[in-house]
Structure 1
Amino acid sequence: MLWLAWVFAHAIPLVWIDRFDTSTGDIKYYRSGALGTAEGAMTEYPVLGTLPARLVALFPGDEDAYVRWFMALCVLTSALFTGWLVHVERGRGLRAAWFWVGFVGLSGPIILSRLDLFPSVAVAVFAALLFARTPVARRAATVVLAVATMMKLWPGVLGAALVGGARRRSTWVRVFWFLGSLVVVAAVTGMVAGVDVLLSPLDYQSDRGLQIESLVATPVMVAASFAAVGDLRWSISYAASKSFEITGPGAATMTTVATVATVVTVLVALSWAVCRLVRDDWSPEQALAFSLTLVALLIATNKVFSPQYITWLAPLTAVALVFCRRRIVTVLAVEVLATALLTTFVYPVYYDWMLTVPPSPVAVGVLALRNLGVLLVAGTAGWWALTAVRAGSSRQ
């Protein structure tokens, strides 16, 4: 029954993409970068993160064939992840697999048409290995996190979740292996592809403006939706960042808010690490709960929120369903599924309705609900992390 549902769930984005010829622009862009037919293509991605796209470029065929090969690789990755969930632990593993199938079905075309699936699954592997009982497996977890960081950058902040008591050797082993692996992978990447490719993704992100889908852009989008036709105070246009950005009253202020909020998120990560050093109460559940919190906060505070970012949350949530028995994890899973569905309505269903001034109030309303869902996920994950700390303290 599960695998029948799995086939149906994956057929939804495949048929959607084929029937409406949508959401393939990024895949075609990956091809141009992998083949070098467009100058500067994919320089905003860490080189390691583009390997799936470069692998698919080795397969025969034209652009349409490349799109099919890329989606096939995503389907294969999802199948392997689902199979692991089913077999890792009976009962709870099956529940997690059903969650993943539901997420794929609800998240629309983006799950099979973006590179984000691959680092997100890698982060889930990292989290799962933390629950292993052997030191070798936990060291492997830190290596996987380092590789995921070099694939998409954002997983690097999850290194804060590795920190435990200052007097415990295991703490410094985890931190050393993570940082050491990060240095090694970066050095190898630099030697093979050049030092410039290590820095270009950072420069690219810093130069981006306020994307219309981000949480901090929501007040500006709401204000623009009430503007009269022909009102030139706001402008929505396709920027050099390859995304739609909004400018006008409030945009600069909200961009500053996003920058400050992102800094605060980093400070939260550092504060968590310091508390674990002092309190000596690290546990895999704490690490997983805080990792989910950080991912949700990174999405919520970013001035950019592409629809595929919702994929960052799902594999980690599936791992939580496998290894954690708390009811709050089930609540979190439901919130992620609801947010995934709302994201599908944001993109691609109502996306074109948001690209004019004034943007459609209906589309902006759906966007606001989706962004509220992300905040709800962050709050629930944060509460879980705090209760996991209290539970750990009561057992000491």
Structure 2
Amino acid sequence: MKRRLLSLSAAWLATRALMLWLLAHSTLPFLGKGAVAREVWRLYHHWYGLLAHGSFPAHDRLWQYPPGAGPVLLGPALLPELTYFQGFVVLTLAADALIALALARAGSRPGRSLRGAAYWTGGLPLLLHVPLARYDVQVTAFAVISLLTLSRSTRACGAFAALGTLVKVWPALVLLGTPKGRPTRSAWLSAAGMASLSLTALVVLFDHPFAFLRQQDGRGVQIESFGGTVLGLATHAGWPGRVRYQYGAMEYTGPYVATVARLSLALTAVAFGLLLLWRVRARHWTDATPYDAALSAVLLFTVTSRVISPQYMIWLLGLAAVCLTSRRTRQRPVTALIAAASAVSTVIYPVLYGEVIGGTWTGCALMVVRNGLLGAAAVLSFVRLWRSGRPAPTPRDPLRPVGPHGISPRPAPAGSRA
């Protein structure tokens, strides 16, 4: 076990050094010409200046995040000897290391597996340097720790999920698979309490904490979403739409875009309904069920989203890694599809993003492959989750006779005639 942990540590150090090298050379053409790092030193730094003066970006169309994102973006102030960009990267690496450590610790317990830690260590570099220039690693840390603490403390599970939800909403989905009864009540009550306290503190400390809500309705269809893939293919059939930078993403504009966006929202509602139906009908729970349910839920919400940014893959890699810490997970084939989709995502962004923006056949083909992998992962994940909720059949007693049609007759009561 010690040798495997040392190997994991060495692999983490080597791969993160490579990611740092890529970030330092991100101005190279095939690494995005500096666009990846620009998110931090231009946009995040600008928001940092506003947040440091006690106000959220009230009139910024690019600010679309819950108020919990504020403290995360203020984090580099804890390292005053570094520039904002350097401090942000250091804190992102710290969150990454925390995830790896939590996965390794969980995988070292009896009956668990280190596959989750290995998956995260080797999976995150598939996205090249993008994870180091987004705050999604920090959000994923809240979700991962929430799930891994469930077996020991449902209250801690709920508290971490609530903190993650205040930063980027989706970690609320990790509570979907908590065991029915007292564990669910405890986790959700803890989440509600932590969310209330944290939100109250943010409202007191900052102005305009709910400014992000007014920016959500205007979101369109990002070129990397499923709807965007359909529209990209439609341009080759004569559809006159165009790609425009708006709301912080490259989105399609033109006829039927609003219809595609509404359809995406409707599919998200359907996905939520399916997850609730599974929750109601599930009868069999294992230690892996909460992990599997979290991954399935986030996958379904991802593929039905109007926006599938490259950093969304960070969430899926983290949740897939949590699943792999349990030997009873039903999501192993799904984790392979997510890793493959992450590798293709790297080719899309930043390597050949110009092809995707231009809607060329190469760009469309890449989007079909990536989104096809994600779609297959979502369907397979939910099917396996649904089947895992059924109780295992009771083995038949070999000494008990089998009646017609394979049905074993009930034994006659004592004292009755045969």
TM bracket (short chain): 0.7 to 0.9
Give % identity. Answer: 24
Q: Which residue in 2 is equivalent to 1:218?
A: 229
Residues 19-67 of structure 1: CA deviation (Å, up to 9, x unaligned): 23231121121111011298745732222223232111453478xx322
Using the alignment, how far apart are the partners of 1:283 and 1:201 within structure 2?
38
Using the alignment, how far apart are the partners of 1:243 and 1:336 within structure 2?
23
Using the alignment, how far apart are the partners of 1:393 and 1:249 within structure 2?
53
Using the alignment, how far apart are the partners of 1:317 and 1:377 within structure 2?
11
Ranges in structure 1 where 5+ consecutive residues have no aligned partner? none
Using the alignment, how far apart are the partners of 1:114 and 1:316 within structure 2?
17
Contact in 2 for aligned 1:157/1:266 (Cα 8 Å) = no
Name the SS for the 1:161 alignment partner. Answer: coil
Using the alignment, how far apart are the partners of 1:205 and 1:385 within structure 2?
31
Name the SS for the 1:245 alignment partner. Answer: strand
Residues 272-302 of structure 1: CA deviation (Å, up to 9, x unaligned): 34335xx5x4554222211111100111111
Contact in 2 for aligned 1:218/1:368 (Cα 8 Å) = yes
Using the alignment, how far apart are the partners of 1:88 and 1:286 within structure 2?
16
Change beyond 3 A, Cα 1:362–1:191? same
Q: Which residue in 2 is equivalent to 1:365?
A: 365
Judging by fraction of residues, say which structure has more helix: 1
Is 1:238 the counterpart of 2:252? The answer is no
Q: Which residue in 1 is equivalent to 2:202?
A: 189
Name the SS for the 1:302 alignment partner. Answer: coil
Name the SS for the 2:288 alignment partner. Answer: helix
Is 1:206 the counterpart of 2:217? The answer is yes
Q: How does 1:114-263 map to 2 (within 5 A)?
A: 114-132=134-152, 137-162=153-178, 164=180, 168-194=181-207, 196-197=208-209, 199-225=210-236, 233-239=240-246, 241-263=247-269
Using the alignment, how far apart are the partners of 1:268 and 1:347 within structure 2?
31
Q: Which residue in 1 is equivalent to 2:281?
A: 275
Name the SS for the 2:226 alignment partner. Answer: coil
Change beyond 3 A, Cα 1:393–1:69? farther
Name the SS for the 1:390 alignment partner. Answer: coil
Q: Which residue in 1 is equivalent to 2:348?
A: 346
Name the SS for the 2:243 alignment partner. Answer: strand
Mean Cα displacement is larger for which, 151-160 or 70-79?
A: 151-160
Q: Number of matched residues? A: 373
Change beyond 3 A, Cα 1:224–1:88? same
Using the alignment, how far apart are the partners of 1:143 and 1:124 within structure 2?
12
Q: Which residue in 1 is equivalent to 2:114?
A: 94
Name the SS for the 1:3 alignment partner. Answer: helix
Give the ranges of 4+ consecutive aligned residues of structure 1 lying more than 6 Å apart after TM superposition.
Answer: 392-395
Using the alignment, how far apart are the partners of 2:278 and 2:200 within structure 1?
29
One-letter identity of the residue aligned with 1:36: L
Using the alignment, how far apart are the partners of 1:157 and 1:54 within structure 2?
25
Mean Cα displacement is larger for which, 152-161 or 22-31?
A: 152-161
Q: Which residue in 1 is equivalent to 2:405?
A: none
Contact in 2 for aligned 1:210/1:246 (Cα 8 Å) = yes
Q: For residue 351 of structure 1, report the CA deviation from its aligned partner.
A: 0.8
Using the alignment, how far apart are the partners of 2:331 and 2:279 within structure 1?
23
**Residue 80 (structure 1) aligned to one of 77, 98, 102:** 98
Name the SS for the 1:36 alignment partner. Answer: helix
One-letter identity of the residue aligned with 1:16: L
Greater Rg over alpha carbons, structure: 2
Q: Which residue in 2 is equivalent to 1:33?
A: 47
Using the alignment, how far apart are the partners of 2:123 and 2:237 within structure 1?
33
Ranges in structure 2 where 5+ consecutive residues have no aligned partner? 1-6, 28-33, 52-56, 396-418
Contact in 2 for aligned 1:123/1:148 (Cα 8 Å) = yes
Give the root-mean-square deviation of aligned CA atoms.
2.5
Contact in 1 for aligned 2:75/2:88 (Cα 8 Å) = no
Using the alignment, how far apart are the partners of 1:163 and 1:3 within structure 2?
33
